[in-house]
Chains A and B, each alone.
Chain A
């Protein structure tokens, strides 16, 4: 198994394959919008996503940007493996607040659909037509060894061509992400 590309995203910087790009200050929503604009893509569905999905989407886009592999991710032999601590907590809270008051009971379908932590993988799958294993792991801290081993199994034993694996976590305006594109 080879590590084809690696990226980390944190409050004020993106580091991709050793190269650092600064990020402006701001709320997560503002920083996410900045990255989206910098990517120069047109994907209106992005604006309907919750924070974890936006972070997963953007980090994946940055990971494979300008890569020869970006056009080769479609298929049942490409997998996703994302670990997270906060999961979809923000959406869970937002959904709860929409129905807890009997006098103002208006649950939002658009919020409800994001009340599962693995939906962020679904958004990346839809974008790149990934049809292989898509697993969301809940962890207190990122267990890089375990995720590496799992990815290795997918590539070496299950004969996957690629696996995008790593950590996606955002709660309120605190966010961190790191993804690796593994291949043969």
Chain B
């Protein structure tokens, strides 16, 4: 699970063009759409595409999206739960 979280951090940084941010700057429980990373609605759409492209997972609705994209922890939990 920790490997997946580190991979997700790198993927989030690359996908969202978060220049000058490294995986070590993002804590597992950092609120992704809080003030720290400055993400916006387009970034949310990009993360949805990321999950579909890399993990073949589809977000069912906006409510599920809000939960899944809360943090790296919740993204990893979602991916793991779909593997079972």
Measuring CB to CB, which residues of chain A are less than 8 angstroms from any residue of chain B?
44-45, 47-48, 106-110, 113
In the assembled complex, the Cα of A110 lies from the Cα of B44 at a distance in Å of 10
A109 touches B42 (CB 8 A): yes
Instruction: Name the distance in Å between A179's Cβ and chain B's nearest Cβ.
Output: 24
In the assembled complex, the Cα of A109 lies from the Cα of B19 at a distance in Å of 18
**B1-56 at interface with A (beta carbon < 8 Å):** 16-19, 38, 42-43, 45-46, 49, 52-53
B38 touches A44 (CB 8 A): yes
Complex interface: chain B residues within 8 A of A47 (CB): 17-19
- A44-B19, A45-B38, A110-B16 known, 9 other contacts, Cβ within 8 Å: A44-B18, A44-B38, A48-B42, A106-B53, A109-B42, A109-B46, A110-B17, A110-B42, A110-B43
Describe B's contact surface by its main secondary structure: helix
Complex interface: chain B residues within 8 A of A106 (CB): 49, 52-53
In the assembled complex, the Cα of A47 lies from the Cα of B42 at a distance in Å of 14
Could you give 27 example pairs across A and B, Cβ below 8 Å?
A: A44-B18, A44-B19, A44-B38, A45-B38, A47-B17, A47-B18, A47-B19, A48-B16, A48-B17, A48-B42, A106-B49, A106-B52, A106-B53, A107-B49, A108-B46, A108-B49, A109-B42, A109-B45, A109-B46, A109-B49, A110-B16, A110-B17, A110-B42, A110-B43, A110-B45, A110-B46, A113-B42
In the assembled complex, the Cα of A113 lies from the Cα of B17 at a distance in Å of 15
Instruction: Name the distance in Å between A29's Cβ and chain B's nearest Cβ.
Output: 11
Complex interface: chain B residues within 8 A of A110 (CB): 16-17, 42-43, 45-46
In the assembled complex, the Cα of A106 lies from the Cα of B46 at a distance in Å of 10
In order of increasing CB-CB distance, the 6 nearest A-B pairs are A109-B45, A47-B19, A47-B17, A106-B53, A48-B17, A110-B46
Closest-by-CB residue of B relative to A48 is B17
Complex interface: chain A residues within 8 A of B53 (CB): 106
